[in-house]
Structure 1
Amino acid sequence: MSCERLKEHVALVTGGGRGIGKAIAQRLYQEGANVVICGTSEDVLRQAAEEIATEDRQVMPIVCDVSNASQIKEMVGKARERFGKVDILVNNAGIMLRHIGLERAARPFYELDEADWDKVMSVNVKGMWMCAREVFPDMRSQNWGRIINISSDTVYMGRGNGLQYVTSKAAVVGLTRALAFEVGRFGVTVNAISPGLTQSETVQEHDFKQMSEELAKVSAIPRLEHPQDLAGTAAWLASEDASFVTGQTISVSGGLSLH
C-alpha cells in the first residue's frame, strides 16, 4: 500500500515493536509519515524498524519505559532532533495481565497485589498522559495534532478477575474524552480504539487459542482478530478525513461488543 495522506507528519507509536503497535506503525509509515517506535527491548525495536522501513525513509527505534517521565522527555527530544516535531501520537504501550503473570493478576479484586495495580496504572494510564503532555507543544505550535489511545473491549464486556487491567482501559476512555475538550481548540483531536482479544505475539505466546476461538464464535464477524485489523482505523483517525472526529472510542473487534 502506498498513500501520501500522512506525508510530512511524524508519528510516535509507543509499544511499537510488536503486535498492534507494530501494525499501526507500519501502516502510518506506508501512508507517508515518518515513524518513531518505542518499547523496552532494543532488539525487538531494531528488528521491527528494519521490517517496517521498506522505502527511502528509516523508522527510528527508541528504548523507553513510558511510566518514566524523564525517559519520555528524552525520547521525544531525540525524535525532535531527528524529525523536527511529533504531531501524531499513538498511545499503544500497555501491560496486560499476562505480563504480570496470570495466576497472580487474575485473582479476585480482594486478593490483588497493590504493586501490580500500581504498575498497570502507571503504564496503561499515566504513561498515556505523560506522552501526550510531552508532545503537545509541537501540536499546539502548528495548530494540528492527532492523539490515538488504545483501550480494550473488556471495558464493555464487564469481565471479572483482572480488575486492574479493565479499570485501566476504562480510564483510557475517560482520559480520551477529557483530553479532547482541552486540546480541541488547538486543532488537536483525541480518540481511542478498543480492540478485542487480538492475536499479537504476546497472546500467542501465552496460548490463548481456546479463549480466542470462543470469543470469535460470539462476534458478529466470527473470526480471530489480528493486529492489522486495527491499522486502518488508526490511519484514518490520524488523517484529515477524521479532522472533525474527537473524544470518541471506536470498537474494532468484529462486533465482539456492541455499544
Structure 2
Amino acid sequence: MKHAAIIEVLLQHAFYTDLRCPDLSIEPSDATARLLRDHRCLWRTSSQGARVLSPLDPTGRPFLPLPGDAALLFYLAVRGGDFAAVTDLASFRGRSAPVFTDAGAGTDGELRLAPADPARPRLPPGVLAAVEIRPGGAPRPARFLVSFPARQARWAYYCVTDLAPAAGELAVVDASPAGAAGALRFSAVTLEPTDPVAAQIERRYPGMRCACFVSDQPVAARAEPRRSLELRLGPDRVAGPLPNPSLQSAAKEDLLFQIIMYRAQPFQTP
C-alpha cells in the first residue's frame, strides 16, 4: 500500500551551518503513538526531524484519516553533543514543563513556546520539551517547525606576547568586506588583577605580556569558524584567521575566550 507524509515536524538550530539539529531526538508520546497505530500511520525520523506517513486509498486520500480535532504530543530529548552550550535557553527559564504549540504559529508553521502554566503536568524524565500540534485543518503535508536560537556571548581574545607596550599596537580586527552584515568590532580592555585567565597566563608565561580584546557586542555561537578575524600589529596582519573561542571556555556566564600567542622575537637556542 502506498504511503504519503501527512505531518512533518522539522527541528532547526541556528548554530549549525545547515540549520539541522543533530543534538535532539523526537518521539511520540504513548497516547500519540497508539493513535497513529490505530490509523495505520507510520512514524519515521530523519536528520531534519520526523514525519507521519499515512496509507492512501485508491483515490490518494488517507486510508484512515486522523480525527479532525486530534491533538498530537511529541517529546524532544537531548541525545548528545553540546546542546546546552550552543543554545540560548533563556526562554526556558521558569518553565517546569516547556511545550511548543501551534497556537499562534506564524504562516511559516514555526511553533511557539506556550505560556508557563504551573498546572501543566511535568514532562517525563530526560525530556527537554514537548511539542503539541493539532494538524486537523492544515494542508497536507502539515509542516511544523521547532527552531532553537544559538547562544550569544561576548568573545575575548587574550594575546600572550613578548612585545613591550611601547613596541607597537596590537589589535583584533574583523577583516570582512566593508559593509558586511554581522562584522565584529573588538576593543582593548584593561585586565583586572582578579581576572582568572590573566592570572593563569602570568603563571604559565612568566616574563610575557598579556593584552585582551573583547567584542563590543555579544556574538551568536556557530559551528562554522569566522575566517575574517585577524591579529594585527599596526596595519600588518600577524596572525589569522583566529579560531572561534571554545564553547567550554567561559570565563564568565556571558564571556567566551581564546588564548593566542604572538612572539616578535624567535625562541633563542643555546
Please give the TM-score of this superposition, normalised by the length of structure 1. Answer: 0.20
Q: Which has the larger share of helix?
A: 1
Please give the TM-score of this superposition, normalised by the length of structure 2. Answer: 0.20
Larger Rg: 2
Q: Which has the larger share of strand?
A: 2
